[in-house]
Amino acid sequence: MPELPDVELYLSALRPRIAGKTIERARVASPFFVRTYDPPFNAVEGRTIVSLSRLGKRLVFELSEDVFMVVHLMIAGRLRWKERGTAIPAKVGLAALDFPDATLLFTEAGSRKQASLHVVRGRAAVEAMDPGGVDVFSLSPKAFAAALRSGNHTLKRMLTDPHVFSGIGNAYSDEILHAAQLSPAKLTSSLTDDEIGRLLDATRQVLSEWTARLQEQAGGAFPEKVTAFHKEMAVHGQYRKPCPRCGAPVQRIVYARNESNYCAPCQTQGKLLADRALSRLLRDDWPKTLEDLERKRHS
């Protein structure tokens, strides 16, 4: 799912291309993509793009005459910048906006069709879609601590909860927790003031660095491969590869459709976190440390 750095990457690519330009035609291929009917999707035709902004993980297109489009790409939704009039791809295409000089395509890989576009009137309607998560760059250390302690959950869950923090998802939460040297399974009620300070610093650092890095890598071109996995990441998507800090193999725990990637020596004092499914299956045979894991792999 595109997170804060990825959404900012799209915004940096879209602003010089469509801000101030008029939508000549709006085309839709997937009936699941456009979730509103009043105004209808074709009501955006003839309107000018006034500004573009971010609402959590959503893209907000402000159009003339107080009309807005709010796009949530979810896991597999992506944007494509193509020649004017390009056909919407048969399998992955959702919709298209035709501008005088190019076409913006909305696509989604897979069959789940979770991406969404809402056309609404007035900024109040946009704000009503805000899940309420706060921007970590605008928080004081005291306010950040209060947000973390607003519920007694794991750090992984609190960081990725859109009702608590804005724009942080599965990928960058892994990187943040590794940078802060904190376990994804640590409960927020057990955090010390020092740990909260480290976490705030790491959150701002990781999000800022990756926002700048992705835009630098794009080099002004429209981003074609927005992904949650980058070879430069410390732990996310790096299972069994060496931790860049200590060299130990990166570990992971999988639950539902998500996973946490972490370094045991750096984040959990060398202990392996229990994967729900495997730990239930193996019970007493579940390895507790990296040494236990290596012995079991070679036995």
3-state secondary structure 104-144: EEEEECCCCCCCEEEEEECHHHHHCCCCCCECHHHCCHHHH
Segment 174-197, tens digit of pLDDT: 999 999 999 999 999 999 999 999
For residue 281, the model assigns a pLDDT of 41
State the Cα–Cα distance between residues 169 and 44, nearest whole angstrom.
30
Spatial contact of 59 and 71, defined as CB atoms under 8 Å apart: yes
What is the residue type of 1? M
Residue 173 is inside which H or E element, if any? Answer: helix 170-180
Type and span of the H or E element at 171: helix 170-180
Q: How many residues are present in the chain?
A: 299
Residue 30 has pLDDT above 80, yes or no: yes
Alpha carbons 268 and 186: distance in angstroms, whole number:
9
Question: Residues 44, 62: contact at Cβ < 8 Å?
Answer: no
Per-residue pLDDT tens over the stretch 223-275: 999 999 999 999 999 999 999 999 999 999 987 667 899 999 999 999 999 86
pLDDT in the model for residue 256: 66
Specify the CATH architecture of the domain 4-127: Alpha-Beta Barrel (3.20)
The answer as to CATH 1.10.8.50 being correct for domain 136-298 is yes
Report the pLDDT averaged over residues 48-69. Answer: 98
Q: Where in the chain is the domain with CATH 3.20.190.10?
A: 4-127
Element counts in the chain: helices (H) and strands (E): 9, 10
Residue 56: how many other CB atoms lie within 10 Å: 22
The pLDDT of residue 295 is 53
Burial of 2 (C-beta count, 10 Å sphere; 0-12/13-18/19+): buried
Q: Are 174 and 228 in contact (CB under 8 A)?
A: no
Q: How far apart are CA 13 and CA 49, in angstroms?
A: 14
Quote the CA–CA distance of 182 and 171 in Å, as a whole number.
Answer: 15
pLDDT of residue 236: 97
Q: How far apart are CA 141 and CA 93, in angstroms?
A: 43
Looking at residue 274, its pLDDT comes to 80
| Of 258, 62, 207, the residue nearest 71 (C-alpha) | 62
Q: From 138, 175, 10, select the one nearest 80 (Cα to Cα).
A: 10
Q: What is the pLDDT of residue 112?
A: 81
Please name which of 114, 37, 118, 38 lies closest in space to residue 71, comparing C-alpha atoms.
Answer: 118
What value does the CA radius of gyration of the chain take, rounded to a whole number of Å? Answer: 21
Both tokens of residue 145?
């601590």
CATH code 1.10.8.50 region(s) in the chain:
136-298
Angle at 268 between CA 200 and CA 56, to 5 degrees: 35
Quick check: 129 and 119 in contact, CB under 8 A? Answer: no
Q: Is the pLDDT of residue 282 over 50?
A: no
